[in-house]
Structure 1
Amino acid sequence: MAVLAATAGGALSAPAAAEGDTPVGQVEFPTHCLPPQEAGLPPADGPTTARITVDNPAPQVGDTVTVTYQVARTPAVNPVGAELPADALTPAGRVLLSGAQSGEVTVVGAQRNDPVPAGAALPAVTMTGTFTVTAPGQTSLAPGGYTLHTSQPLGLDTVCTPAAEPSAAPVSARLTASALPTANLRSVFLGAPSGKPGAKVAVTAAGFTPGSAVTLAGRAGAAETADRVTATADAWGVAVAELPVKDKATTAVVAYEGAAWSARQGSGPAAYAVVDVVPAAAAAVPTATQRVTATVEPGGLAMTQTGEDITLGAVPYGDGGAAPGRIGTVTVTDARGGPAGWSLIGKVTDFTGPGGVRIPGASLSWTPVCAAAPGSATACTAGSAGVVGPEGAVLASTPDAAPAGGTFTVDAAVTLQVPRYTAPGAYTAVLTLTLS
């Protein structure tokens, strides 16, 4: 487990907007536009015609989505009392999120327009912004208020707000986010690494569905042996039983839910050796000969890390951007002597800063690397580059193989994407690494 800290931080938050019954696409809603006091004009009330689109309607949690807010018609009029020059109008607005993810997205547009006669309606504008997907499921996007800023000959703001409550805002776009694949954290532990034929070994299986039937079975390579018992997982997902190991071919023990072992519902094998006892009659040997027996005893699976603190680079206030860093190097030692591989999984909490402001854990990504020491029996595979997040991602692994084992060095460069205009301060999260 490691603690990560970054300088700067923050998150978007705003009242949620209800999804409503309006179909997605172009929508119309009543608007109250308040011209700048300097213009001496009365408020303008009328419909706003708008459309919201997203660049990715089916993202994964952790993806960045670009939102476009187009105002095709507005009741707001030219406030300057004369012709508004070309390229003097700058729009900014809000897009309301509801459903699986709530909040709001700030959108802005370029300073681009044709000349507008005095008293004429202001032209159509287009605004864009981005947000990070933090929850799986359907999220609705509805238009919120917008401001039309004119910079010539004076800096004037016309503020347009929906006449209805935010919860009644018409839905103009929807997206459906999928969750990141979850890691299989099921594992099995043995009370002893070896025993004579028929000996009972204490087996503890963890990480299973509470209340499920868990099969504990012997394995010889990729095939199961005749050794098998069934136990029920308790409220914490732990199943405990004694497995009589009678089959001399058994070299490992696995645990799984369902009718057969699978990578999604089963644990990796725990090495076990059946040590046969030579009968007394067979021990007699001719005079002047000796029987020499050597036993190689299996060890365990362990890891160490260099340091528990990770300090990410600072980002300037207002700009946001990437805060880079590197995890403390992890050394994995596999001395079990069986055919089982291993996986090293990482999970990260949200980053918490001043006043409880948070940066989602899904904003942290990494690029893992893994190397096997000379003489290791198997190769090490680095996990995929991408989001770490609270759901977890694979940092490194080795496959099931015969023989398996060795010493492996695991490292990763990490990057935290800090949103723009994040409140200054230190933001801290916890990165947990689990080896199984």
Structure 2
Amino acid sequence: MLGATALAVTAGGALAVPAGAAAVNVDFPTHCVPPPIAGIPPIDGTTTAKITVDDATPQVGDTVTVTYTVVAPAASNPTDLALPADIMTPTGKVTLGGAQSGSVTVTGPKKNPPVPGKGVFPSFSMTGTFTVTTPGAITLSPGDYNIHTSYILELDTPCTVTNPPAPVSETVTAADNPPANTRAISLGSASGAPGASVAVTGTGFTAGATVTLAGRSGAAQTADTATVTANAQGAVSGSLVVNDLTTTGVVAYEGGAWSTDLGAGPVAYVVIDDQPVPEGSQKLTTTVKAGTLSMSQAGDAVAMSAVDFGSGDASTGDLNAVTVKDYRGGPAGWSLTGKVTDFTGAGAKIDAGKLSWTPECTTKAGSPSTCRAGSAGAVGSAGATLASAPDGTLTGGEFTVKAGLSLDVPAFTPPGTYAGVLTLTLT
């Protein structure tokens, strides 16, 4: 019985893979040491593995998520006794090389299908992250890994790379971070009559560059423009005659058109139309009142699909559609987040971290803002973003948010009904 959690190793040789090959399976010699209690001597074998990343072209300062998949472990069940599901927890290292050295610690979930007696251990994946510190080509090679088994006893089987480093399985090309845009402007006044000249001063521009001063009406540029030249210190000083009655702000930028990389602003500016009404005329005015940010949902209950006892399958469903209405008419965006409690029932529970979602968000035609769906992944008790809309000169609109739901039900969860509460918060 004690040998049920020991690991046997399949012998074999290494298959050479050219360094720099991206996202490919690589074979490498592995030295595995089964638990001493198993009475099995160390055996040298071959591991087949693959490294993948979520971003192959990051910038310095970005965080890259690394997945280390052991496609074919150098281990199998050495006994005739079948091993149950969800007793194996893998951990490991990914070796960095090239432009950046070091290692990435990766871990995997305690999840595996049942392993028959004398059967081959299944493939498993581990994930971790690293921060890019140097531009250039960064290579990733599979490193040592360990399989921890929790059945009868808590036992470890460490497997080390015989001739480190192992072949390169993935390469990322990191770019240097562009310098931060420090351009900024200020105005001599925040309002003026039609045709008034507003003083504009700024800093942080490229020395000697031609800088355009322009009025903005929401996200669009008006016909009111002027040009100035930045001095040797990158400072600008000039004035802009503002005629457009719909002006909401003033910007300054280098180049042929506005961009966030080479521009500054917008700084708020409004035109006060206080011109006298000609004789025989009437001046008509109206007011657009700002509203509120609100949400509503199509229902408050979701019946997810049933899962067979012992299968360790996913229970799936769809979040009731949520409608977000942003009628504030200001510059602020919004964020819709959610968090979930543990699923309880039948004298047991399913951890909140087992619930994941795949968000989607659509924007009603004519809305000033465009919503963005949150990332697919775990929801958990800490919460995650379902959807959002960014800040802007003028924001607002109506949005429909949906999400596919999936609850990873562990094998042999006691039969019964389990319920958790998903709370959505709009800010």
TM-score (ref. length: structure 1): 0.49
Q: Which has the higher contact order (CA 8 A, sep 6+)?
A: 1
TM-score (norm 2): 0.50
